[in-house]
Structure 1
Amino acid sequence: MSEVDALFAALRQAADPLTVDCIERVVMHGLDRDLNRINALAFADEHRLDEEKTLAALLHAARLGAFEMTWNVLCPGCGGVLDTGATLKTVDQETYHCALCAAGYEPTLDEMVEVTFTVSPRVRRIAAHDPDRLPPLEYYRQIFFSSGVDLPQDFEARFARIQLELIELAPGEKAFLSLRLPAQFVIVFDAVTHSAQFIDVKGDPTDERQNLSMVISKAHALHETLTLRPGPLRLTLENHSDRRVIPNVCVAGDDLHDLLGRRRPFLTAKRLLSNQSFRDIYRTDTLDVDQRLKITSLTFLFTDLRGSTALYERVGDLAAFDLVRAHFQVLHEIVATEAGAVVKTIGDAVMATFPSPDRAVAAALRMREAMLRLNTEHGSDDLLLKIGIHEGPCLAVNLNDRQDYFGQTVNIASRVQGLADPNVIMTTEAVVEDTHVSEILRDSGISSVSRMEELQGIGREVKIFALS
């Protein structure tokens, strides 16, 4: 058995075999481009696979060394990759600047950090393993733009309509280009160093040759916008970096915006951190102790067992332990199948996260039904589950050698759970106002009753809803 066969045999033991079969077919027969920076959500959609099973398979493949996982910081404007690293620990800048968009952004895990998967060279060698040898437009397609930019199949032909020049320069090389500027906004941009020069071409056309020099370096330099007249231009480009660069001169008009404006869902860092398979595989090596990364929206679900101390007294330690363990197993399974992750357990309580409120509410409804079934099977109402849900911004942090969350959203979710009665799901207004949550409640025939409560340590009244 070859090393590749052995890797996929091991992967079938860890992940869904049908999903693994599909991944193996693409590895063996797909284009090089198909195996570089794979968008897990797009891959699942294209091959009609379950998203969660696909994600779990790719995560296990990365653990086994068949794929490499990369964390890419994205520009929200153009979808370009501003920085990339092998772990989330590399996202360590307060602000990332995009020269192409002339804007700076504070990174957020649900909008600006994607996670992609590239086949390992030990499994199959692809062109992107040596990106500096990719054809220029393939570099733009495979390396510069994120997996969330839905580039068309005829990308090269579409880009040719707006491209005035495109050139390759080796380290230290200098080139002289002659071109004619149209009366439009023009950008000189290099995707390797992210150097950019904006040219506002306006005024009366001229036949007199204009001159412009641009130095391309690792400084990610954005030069001040220049105003030139329509007509001939002699452009001097100098590569002061230690890599090949591929500057292009293009018209920044509607065609460019249309080309880059099509987007598709991608695997965000937020979603991955709220994935049970990821947390199981990468328990302690996600964030550095000093990292504080923002998430603009995450849904927290807290549970606790009411009267668990009396349960141990009533039925004995052994029987109570078995019941509580069964309850934990059921909750873990439900959280995982609803695209969530258990962050931690504290005594008989569970703290879980979900990428969206509807997933959390769906999980809560299933948890309530599961506890009722367990109680019926045991012939007593020993498992009285209290559930609270809240959604909002938070920080992803490293606490006690584990990836955790911090902020007022977490505090409110915990306090809301403390107000819940057994078999009643308590939520906040942020949760019930979600469109998908409203659909779930309507379809399930669930009614909600609201009231104002002053939550301990919050300092203000919060509108909460009891779902029964």
Structure 2
Amino acid sequence: MSEVDVLFAALRQAADPQAVECIEQVVMHGSDRDLNRINVFAFADTHHLDEEKTIAAFLHAARIGTFEMTWNVLCPGCGGVLETGANLKAVDRGTYHCALCAAGYEPTLDEMVEVTFTVSPRVRRIAAHEPDRLPPLEYYRQIFFSSGVDLPENLEASFARILLEMIELDPGEKAFVSLQLPAQFVIIFDAVTHSAQFIDVKGEPTDERQNLSMFISRDYAPNETLTLRPGLLRLTIENHTDRRVLPNVCIAGEQLHDLLGRRRPFLTAKRLLTNQSFRDIYRTDTLDIDQRLRITSLTFLFTDLRGSTALYERVGDLAAFDLVRAHFKVLHEIIATESGAVVKTIGDAVMATFSSPDRAVASALRMREAMLRLNAEHGREDLLLKIGIHEGPCLAVNLNDRQDYFGQTVNIASRVQGLADPYVILTTEAVVENAQVSEILRNNGIASVSRMEELQGVEREVKIFALS
């Protein structure tokens, strides 16, 4: 049995068989491009797979070495990859600058960090394992642009409409190019070093030759936009790096914006951090102790058992322990199947996260029904579950050797749960105003009643909604 056979045998033991079969087929028969920076959602859609099971399968594949997982910091404007690393610890800068968009961004885990998977060289060698040997446009497609940019199959034909020149320069090489500048905004951009020069071409056409020199180096510094006239340009470009560079000259108009504006869903860092399989597999290997990464919107669900101390007194330690353990098992299963993750348990309480409010509310409704069934099976109401939900911004941090969250959103969610009565789910306005949550409540015939509450540590009153 080959090493690859052994790896896939191990993967079949750990992940969904259907997902593993599809992954194995692509590894064996797919194109090189199919195996580089795989967009998990696009893969699941193509092969008609469950998204959560597909994410879990690729996570297990990365853990055993079949695939390499990469965390890519993206420009929200053009969708370019500004930096890439083997884990989230590589996202260590306060601001990332995109030369193509001439803009700086504070990284957030919502839409600015994607997670992709590339087949390991030990399983199969693909062209992207040696990116400097990729054809220029394939480098742009496979290395520079994120998996969320839905580039057309005929990228060459689409790009040809706006491309004035594509240049390939080895280390230390110099190129002299003559081209006709149209009366439009033009960009010279290199995807390897992220160097850029903007040219505003306007005014009366000229018959005189215009000259421009550009030096491509690792120490990129933003340049001022140059103004040139339509007509002949003699362009000199020098590669001052130790790698091949791929500068292109293109027209930055509507066609370029349309080409880069086609987007598709991708696996964000936020979505992965709220995935139970990821937390189970990678545990503390996520953030450095000093990292503080911002999430603009995350939904927190807190639960606790009311009267658990009295339960131990009433039925005895052993029976109470079995009941509480059964309750934890049910909650963990519900949270995982609703695309959430358990952050931690504190006594009889659970703290969980979801990437969107509707998944948290769906989870809470299922929890309530599950506790009613468990109590009915035991013939008495021993498990009285209190649930609170809130959504908002937070920081992803490393606390007590585990990936955790910090901020007022977390505090409010915890306080809301503290106000809850058994069988009544308490949420905040941010949750019930979500369109998908409204649909869930309407479809389940659930009414919401609001009231204002003062919460400890919160200066303003908070509107609370009881779902019953």
Q: Distance in 2 between matches of 1:322 and 1:195?
A: 62
Paired AA for residue 467 in structure 1 = L
Partner residue, 2:320: 320
Partner residue, 1:274: 274
Q: Distance in 2 between matches of 1:281 and 1:220?
A: 38
Q: Distance in 2 between matches of 1:76 and 1:421?
A: 42
Paired AA for residue 34 in structure 2 = D
1:459 to partner: Cα distance: 1.7
Q: Confirm whether residue 410 of structure 1 aligns to residue 410 of structure 2.
A: yes
Q: Confirm whether residue 72 of structure 1 aligns to residue 77 of structure 2.
A: no
1:330-360 Cα offsets, whole Å, 9 max, x none, are: 0000000000000000000000000000000
Partner residue, 1:362: 362
Paired AA for residue 10 in structure 1 = A
1:393-415 Cα offsets, whole Å, 9 max, x none, are: 00000000000000000000000
Q: Distance in 2 between matches of 1:330 and 1:71?
A: 32
SS of the residue corresponding to residue 28 of structure 1 reads helix
Partner residue, 2:373: 373
Partner residue, 1:119: 119
Q: Say whether the 8 Å CA contact 1:388–1:413 is kept in structure 2.
A: yes
1:223 to partner: Cα distance: 1.4
Q: Distance in 2 between matches of 1:342 and 1:365?
A: 17
Q: Distance in 1 between matches of 2:161 and 2:461?
A: 58
Partner residue, 2:297: 297
Paired AA for residue 439 in structure 1 = E
Q: Say whether the 8 Å CA contact 1:97–1:104 is kept in structure 2.
A: yes
Q: Distance in 2 between matches of 1:156 and 1:403?
A: 43
Q: Confirm whether residue 129 of structure 1 aligns to residue 132 of structure 2.
A: no
SS of the residue corresponding to residue 101 of structure 1 reads coil
Partner residue, 1:309: 309
Q: Distance in 1 between matches of 2:71 and 2:168?
A: 27
SS of the residue corresponding to residue 223 of structure 1 reads coil
Q: Distance in 2 between matches of 1:221 and 1:73?
A: 19
1:30-71 Cα offsets, whole Å, 9 max, x none, are: 110000000101111111110000000000000000000000
Q: Distance in 2 between matches of 1:345 and 1:459?
A: 28
Partner residue, 1:421: 421
Q: TM-score, normalised by structure 2?
A: 1.00
Q: Distance in 1 between matches of 2:125 and 2:114?
A: 23
Partner residue, 2:94: 94
Q: Confirm whether residue 193 of structure 1 aligns to residue 198 of structure 2.
A: no
Q: How do 1:21-420 and structure 2 match up within 5 A?
A: 21-420=21-420
Q: Distance in 1 between matches of 2:208 and 2:432?
A: 65
SS of the residue corresponding to residue 376 of structure 2 reads helix
Q: Distance in 1 between matches of 2:220 and 2:340?
A: 38
Q: Say whether the 8 Å CA contact 1:194–1:221 is kept in structure 2.
A: no
Q: TM-score, normalised by structure 1?
A: 1.00
1:221 to partner: Cα distance: 3.0
Q: Distance in 1 between matches of 2:159 and 2:306?
A: 62
Q: Distance in 1 between matches of 2:122 and 2:13?
A: 20
Q: Distance in 2 between matches of 1:78 and 1:114?
A: 14
Q: Distance in 1 between matches of 2:143 and 2:459?
A: 48
1:394-440 Cα offsets, whole Å, 9 max, x none, are: 00000000000000000000000000000110000000000000000
Q: Distance in 2 between matches of 1:402 and 1:213?
A: 51
Q: Say whether the 8 Å CA contact 1:395–1:406 is kept in structure 2.
A: yes
Q: Distance in 2 between matches of 1:451 and 1:415?
A: 15
Structure 1 runs of 4+ off > 3 angstroms? Answer: none
Q: Distance in 2 between matches of 1:310 and 1:388?
A: 22
Aligned residues: 468
Partner residue, 2:437: 437
Q: Distance in 2 between matches of 1:161 and 1:235?
A: 20
Q: Confirm whether residue 14 of structure 1 aligns to residue 27 of structure 2.
A: no
Paired AA for residue 86 in structure 1 = A
1:234-289 Cα offsets, whole Å, 9 max, x none, are: 00001011110000000001111110000001000000000000000010110001
SS of the residue corresponding to residue 171 of structure 2 reads coil
Deviates more, 1:215-224 or 1:43-52: 215-224
Q: Say whether the 8 Å CA contact 1:178–1:232 is kept in structure 2.
A: yes
Q: Distance in 2 between matches of 1:113 and 1:214?
A: 31
Query: What are the ranges of 5 or more consecutive residues in structure 1 without an aligned counterpart?
Result: none
1:220 to partner: Cα distance: 2.9
What is the root-mean-square deviation of aligned Cα atoms in Å? 0.5
Query: What are the ranges of 5 or more consecutive residues in structure 2 without an aligned counterpart?
Result: none
Q: Distance in 2 between matches of 1:449 and 1:253?
A: 51
